[in-house]
């Protein structure tokens, strides 16, 4: 199994365990915050499953109907994950605030333990997924890592809410429900951010300037290249497709300029593994035209 799907599978197993633990303990301890955080972890299982399926499908090689590969499936999964987070957050917030008037007693002390375990587990998963997502340039896995970071924050908010209720049940009897409401809002804003970031990729937003600079540097390192007139790139899943306009001596034959273009394409793909392919156009160098 490739690294991306393997990481998504680990996240799904861990989230499933945390969801069961927090839902059961939340009901036993009469804690809305813990129970709500358990529901949020349950949605993580669905999210991780979506990411796992997307990464598996995105790894399929190009075919006649999809010459640029199937990488956009991975981006679409990140977009879907954002919508899932947004809807889950709205539901959690509504459920939590609507139940404030039903509070009769504070939660039990043992309600804090699944939250402490969840915080530690989610911080570990966040670091693990972020590192992997940066290495394989996965938007969906990056979104899932952001989701884990928010999970750690939401569990911390739930812990604070439960702690306040236990500290002073008379003064903070409703803090447990309000903590769950805050968790829902955090999830909503996370969903909006994930939708925005993946949407930008679907709109073929140019990558970081440092990546574009690196493409130009590698292209100019090939003998016979006088310059790079234009350079565009768009992300299709885990990799970028590049359009490059090279400037060469206008007196060259078509064969020689073609060989240079092919050398540029091969060198970029060899030195920059995050580039899937390069479409090279050859242009006459303006300096050489003036000399002639």
| CATH code at position 103 | 1.20.1510.10
Residue 1: pLDDT over 60: no
- Average pLDDT for 32-40: 78
pLDDT digits (tens, 9 = 90+) for 144-200: 787 788 778 878 877 887 888 788 777 776 776 777 787 778 778 878 887 887 888
Range of the domain at 274: 209-291
- Whether 176 and 284 map to the same domain: the answer is no
* DSSP structure class, residue 206: -
- Whether 38 and 128 map to the same domain: the answer is yes
State phi, psi for 156 to the nearest 5 degrees: -65, -40
Paired tokens of 227: 């310059």
247: alpha, beta or left, given left = phi > 0 and alpha = psi -120 to 50? Answer: beta
- Domain boundary (179, 202, 225) is at 202
Any residues with CB less than 8 A from the CB of 98 and at least 6 apart, and which? Answer: none
Contact 275, 269 (CB under 8 A): yes
pLDDT digits (tens, 9 = 90+) for 91-125: 778 877 776 666 566 778 888 888 899 899 989 98
Q: What pLDDT does residue 255 have?
A: 92
- Going 122 to 87 to 33 to 114, the CA torsion angle's sign is negative
For 116, other C-beta atoms within 10 Å of its C-beta total 12
- Domain boundary (177, 202, 227) is at 202
- Whether 94 and 127 map to the same domain: the answer is yes
- Whether 181 and 224 map to the same domain: the answer is no
- Whether 195 and 234 map to the same domain: the answer is no
Any residues with CB less than 8 A from the CB of 265 and at least 6 apart, and which? Answer: 277, 278, 280
Average pLDDT score, the chain: 81
């Amino acid at each position: 199994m490739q690294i991306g799907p393997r990481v998504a599978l680990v996240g799904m197993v861990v989230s499933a365990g945390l969801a069961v633990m927090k839902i059961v303990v939340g009901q036993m301890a009469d804690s809305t915050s813990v129970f709500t955080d358990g529901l949020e972890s349950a949605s993580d299982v669905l999210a991780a499953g979506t990411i796992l399926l997307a990464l598996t499908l995105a790894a399929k090689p190009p075919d006649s109907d999809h010459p640029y590969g199937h990488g956009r499936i991975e981006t679409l999964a990140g977009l879907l994950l954002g919508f899932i987070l947004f809807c889950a957050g709205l539901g959690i917030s509504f459920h939590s605030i609507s139940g404030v008037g039903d509070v009769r007693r504070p939660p039990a002390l043992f309600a804090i333990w699944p939250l402490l375990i969840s915080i530690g587990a989610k911080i570990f998963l966040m670091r693990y997924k972020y590192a992997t997502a940066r290495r394989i340039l996965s938007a969906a896995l990056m979104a899932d890592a952001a989701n884990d970071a928010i999970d750690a924050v939401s569990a911390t908010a739930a812990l604070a809410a439960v702690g306040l209720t236990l500290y002073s049940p008379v003064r903070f009897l409703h803090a447990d429900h309000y903590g769950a409401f805050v968790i829902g809002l955090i999830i909503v804003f996370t969903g909006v951010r994930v939708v925005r970031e993946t949407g930008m990729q679907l709109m073929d937003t140019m990558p970081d300037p440092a990546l574009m600079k690196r493409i130009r540097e590698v292209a100019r390192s090939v003998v016979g290249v006088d310059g790079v007139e234009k350079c565009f790139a768009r992300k299709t899943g885990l990799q970028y497709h590049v359009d490059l306009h090279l400037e060469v001596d206008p007196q060259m034959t078509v064969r020689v300029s073609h060989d240079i273009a092919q050398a540029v394409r091969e060198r970029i793909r060899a030195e920059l593994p995050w580039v899937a392919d390069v479409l090279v156009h050859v242009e006459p160098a303006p300096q050489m035209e003036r000399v002639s």
